[in-house]
């Protein structure tokens, strides 16, 4: 089974950039301004900036949008080009860029390798077979946590992009320097025109970005659980009401409902309802009183749930009865 992704949903943009010595702080400030400009565009879901580490030699910027079309609108915008013109003074050479269609968010803090390949149209089948051999060997190495292969994105980029993840940099290095990998690279000599970059993060999650679109540590497990509860209740009830006319048996209704709940929570409920509503409680401003923040957060949680309870009580008992 090939680890191939051909999704048309959410999109992730990974940009790698070398920065001139002494310009790091100015570059980060400029990049934050760029991210703020991106947040004004339709479909923006978040952005994060990662400084170089022992594993990751370049600065890496990751954008998330809700669709390839919205990514394309941002990438090709005059606003972005104006910012790039200003930022040329801080960078050392051109940036690298990959656009990935579909959800690329593992739930653990992993080390991710991004590999871009240019593949001639007549070599696609051979390339996919070679990638499958690579994947099978990668999976036999300790620490391997999965891989994905993304097709070129028409109008955005021509390269195939492969992602593979390991739990630690040491386990990743074992694979990168292994004799087996060298043998497979030799077998795929015709595909040797590739670019590899290591990203020392996990591309975020529901709570990976603060209100300014910057990467931030997640809230406590207690707050996270309560926040998910606040979003899950209306999501599940609304979907149950929407699906009830279909009269599906319980086992099938739960299967379909859970799938729709997952998508709705990821792309609608959490980013557009829960996080804006509870943001100041999930991540209180610096210097804010912990007691006041918790009181305010609990009050918002209670108010939101009371509101939905009243709405669903009236809907299901006064205005409509489930089939």
CATH of the domain at 14: 3.30.70.100
Judgement on whether residues 188 and 260 belong to the same structural domain of the protein: no
Judgement on whether residues 54 and 190 belong to the same structural domain of the protein: yes
What is the predicted pLDDT for the residue at 319? 80
What is the predicted pLDDT for the residue at 277? 92
Judgement on whether residues 19 and 121 belong to the same structural domain of the protein: yes
CA nearest 98: which of 193, 208, 16? 16
What is the predicted pLDDT for the residue at 307? 96
User: Residue 62's pLDDT band (boundaries 50, 70, 90)?
Assistant: confident
Judgement on whether residues 143 and 225 belong to the same structural domain of the protein: no
> Does 207 reside within a domain?
no
Neighbours of 227 (CB within 10 A): 23
- Expressed as residue numbers, the domain containing 122 is 4-199
Beta bridge partners of 63: 13, 47
Q: Count of domains in the chain?
A: 2
Judgement on whether residues 58 and 106 belong to the same structural domain of the protein: yes
Pairing between β-strand 44-50 and β-strand 59-65 as defined by DSSP bridges: antiparallel
Judgement on whether residues 53 and 180 belong to the same structural domain of the protein: yes
pLDDT at 124 over 90: no
> Does 25 reside within a domain?
yes
> Does 51 reside within a domain?
yes
User: Residue 308's pLDDT band (boundaries 50, 70, 90)?
Assistant: very high
What is the predicted pLDDT for the residue at 1? 29
What does pTM read for this prediction? Answer: 0.48
Give the residue carrying structure tokens 């021509």.
158
Judgement on whether residues 54 and 153 belong to the same structural domain of the protein: yes
Q: Mean pLDDT across the chain, nearest whole number?
A: 81
Q: What SS3 state is found at 270?
A: helix
Higher pLDDT, 223 or 103: 223
- What is the mean pLDDT of the segment spanning 83-110? 73
What is the predicted pLDDT for the residue at 107? 42
Give the residue carrying structure tokens 């918790």.
294
Higher pLDDT, 321 or 241: 241
Q: What is the maximal distance between C-alpha atoms in the chain?
A: 71
- What is the mean pLDDT of the segment spanning 45-51? 83
Q: Which of 108-122, 171-185, 244-258 has the lowest mean pLDDT?
A: 108-122
Judgement on whether residues 227 and 171 belong to the same structural domain of the protein: no
> Does 36 reside within a domain?
yes
At 289-300, the pLDDT tens digits run 888 889 999 999
At 147-196, the pLDDT tens digits run 778 788 776 677 888 888 888 888 888 888 899 989 988 888 888 777 77
Judgement on whether residues 157 and 245 belong to the same structural domain of the protein: no
What is the predicted pLDDT for the residue at 218? 59
What is the predicted pLDDT for the residue at 20? 92
What is the predicted pLDDT for the residue at 296? 92
pLDDT at 215 over 50: no
What is the predicted pLDDT for the residue at 110? 64
Q: What SS3 state is found at 114?
A: strand
> Does 213 reside within a domain?
no
> Does 88 reside within a domain?
yes
- Secondary structure of 35-55 in the HEC alphabet? HHHHCCCCCEEEEEEECCCCC
What is the predicted pLDDT for the residue at 322? 60
Judgement on whether residues 79 and 43 belong to the same structural domain of the protein: yes
Q: How far apart, in whole angstroms, are the C-alpha atoms of residue 126 and residue 131?
A: 9
Listed residues 199, 232, 251: the one ending a domain? 199
Higher pLDDT, 267 or 217: 267
Pairing between β-strand 144-150 and β-strand 59-65 as defined by DSSP bridges: unpaired
User: Residue 102's pLDDT band (boundaries 50, 70, 90)?
Assistant: low
Judgement on whether residues 144 and 225 belong to the same structural domain of the protein: no
Q: How far apart, in whole angstroms, are the C-alpha atoms of residue 50 and residue 17?
A: 11
Judgement on whether residues 182 and 256 belong to the same structural domain of the protein: no
> Does 204 reside within a domain?
no
pLDDT at 209 over 50: no
């Amino acid at each position: 089974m090939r680890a191939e992704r051909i999704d048309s949903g959410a999109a992730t943009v990974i940009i790698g950039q070398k920065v001139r010595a002494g310009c790091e702080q100015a570059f980060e400030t400029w990049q934050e301004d760029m991210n703020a400009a991106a947040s004004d565009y339709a479909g923006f879901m978040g952005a994060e900036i990662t400084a170089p580490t022992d594993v990751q030699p370049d600065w890496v910027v990751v954008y998330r949008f809700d669709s390839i079309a919205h990514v394309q609108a941002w990438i090709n915008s005059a606003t972005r080009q104006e910012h790039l013109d200003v930022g040329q003074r801080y960078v050392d050479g051109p940036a690298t860029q990959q656009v990935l269609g579909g959800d690329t968010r593992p739930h653990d803090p992993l080390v991710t390798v991004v590999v871009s390949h240019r593949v001639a149209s007549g070599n696609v089948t051979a390339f996919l077979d070679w990638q499958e051999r690579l994947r099978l060997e990668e999976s036999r190495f300790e620490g391997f946590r999965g891989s994905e292969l993304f097709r070129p994105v028409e109008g955005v980029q021509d390269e195939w992009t492969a992602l593979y993840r390991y739990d630690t940099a040491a386990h990743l290095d074992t694979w990168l320097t292994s004799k087996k990998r060298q043998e497979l690279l030799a077998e795929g000599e015709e595909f040797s025109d590739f670019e590899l970059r290591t990203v020392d993060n996990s591309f975020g999650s529901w709570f990976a970005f603060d209100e300014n679109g910057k990467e931030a540590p997640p809230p406590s497990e207690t707050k996270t659980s309560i926040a998910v509860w606040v979003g899950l209740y209306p999501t599940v009830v609304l979907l149950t009401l929407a699906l009830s006319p279909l009269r599906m048996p319980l086992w099938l209704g739960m299967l379909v409902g859970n799938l729709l709940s997952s998508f709705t929570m990821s792309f609608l409920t959490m980013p557009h309802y829960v996080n804006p509503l509870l943001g100041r409680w999930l991540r209180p401003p610096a210097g804010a009183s912990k007691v006041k923040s918790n009181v305010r957060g609990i009050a918002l949680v209670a108010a939101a749930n009371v509101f939905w309870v009243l709405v669903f009580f009236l809907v299901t008992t006064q205005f409509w009865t489930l089939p």
